[in-house]
Chains A and B, each alone.
Chain A
Amino acid sequence: MNKYEFLYKLGNALNQQKRTDQKEILGYYEELIQDAIDSGQGEEQFIAKLGSIDKIARTLSKDETFVEQVKTKQNFQLQMVFSTTVKIIGYFIFFTVVIVVGSIGISFLGSGISMFVFAAIRLSMMIAQTFDLYNLMMFVGLLILGSGTVLFGIAIFKWLIIESRPRLEKLLEMVQEAIKKVG
């Protein structure tokens, strides 16, 4: 296998692994192969020495899992990284922000649903009774506004669910840094 075939196949194997920075890895391997060639090694022999594409992708993936564990503090030892003081301050700030943002989300969701239900009822009543263009425009507008507000509320909750954990880790790191500076 020559360099281009190898890089093409490796690129395909890395495609299945979303977390790896494909471009950077390919650049790394391209440079390694070129350096090996420049040092007098045979291109195909060096590529054969690198091992199978699957094994390379697996090795990189295994390490990604480890890095991910470090990031998500799933490793027991890593959970001990932050001191109790950092955790107390960090969690206090975190839960305050969660409560504030969550309240905003609930208010958007609640008012959106109310607007939507109110507009839908009034619209159906109006259609059943008398047709009025101005009221029709108003209730249709309210219906759209209600839907938008509900979606915004959902987006806030989605953000809270997806982003809260990485943000918490970042926050704990920031608190730790701040304590180090003060102390």
Chain B
Amino acid sequence: MDIQLKKGFLELLVLASIKNQDSYGYKMIQDISPIMELSESTLYPILKRLDEQQLVQTYTTEYNSRLRKYYKITAAGKLKLIESAQDFKEIQKIYAYILQ
């Protein structure tokens, strides 16, 4: 898959993975990998970008006597997911044309 296209999808997949429940890096990789290949070094910049765009918020909590960083989707992040659903219809139309 085209790298830019993949980057866009991965951002959405990360947002979708925390839509219902806050999550952390390791769990996100476990959740997303079956759908799209995602390496640990690919996830970090995506999380950083989403954080910079304020689509996610981070917080740390204690787990097993150590700190674990959690990611929580923001209202803007949820909006981004809703917008992506609208993109889906357009993408479907584009592919219907490409593959005709």
Contact = CB atoms under 8 A, between A and B. Distances in A.
Contact of B40 (A27, A29, A39, A66): A29
Interface stretch (A57-65, A124-132, A170-178): A57-65
B24 A35 contact: yes
B41 A27 contact: no
Most buried by A among B7, B29, B45, B68: B45
**Which interface class (under 10, 10 to 19, 20 to 34, 35 or more) fits B?**
20 to 34
Interface stretch (A48-56, A95-103, A109-117, A145-153): A48-56
Interface in B6-29: 7, 24-27, 29
B92 interface: no
A28 B69 CA distance: 8
A50 B29 CA distance: 12
A34 B24 CA distance: 12
Given A50-B41, A55-B41, A27 B69 contact: yes
B41 A51 contact: yes
Contact of B45 (A35, A36, A63): A63
A34 B66 contact: yes
The B interface, classified by DSSP as helix, strand, loop or mixed, is helix
Interface in B62-79: 64, 66-69
A29 B69 CA distance: 11
Contacts of B41: 50-51, 55-56, 59-60
Contacts, number: 50
Contacts of B86: none
Interface string B24-45: 1111010000000001111011
A31 interface: yes
A25 interface: yes
A28 B25 contact: yes
B39 A31 contact: no
Contact of B68 (A31, A64, A67): A31
Given A34-B66, A35-B68, A25 B25 contact: no
B25 A60 contact: no
Contacts of B42: 59, 63
Contacts of B69: 27-28, 31
Interface of B: 7, 24-27, 29, 39-42, 44-45, 47-49, 64, 66-69
17 contacts: A27-B69, A28-B44, A28-B47, A29-B40, A31-B24, A31-B67, A31-B69, A35-B27, A35-B68, A36-B26, A39-B26, A55-B41, A59-B39, A59-B42, A63-B42, A66-B7, A67-B49
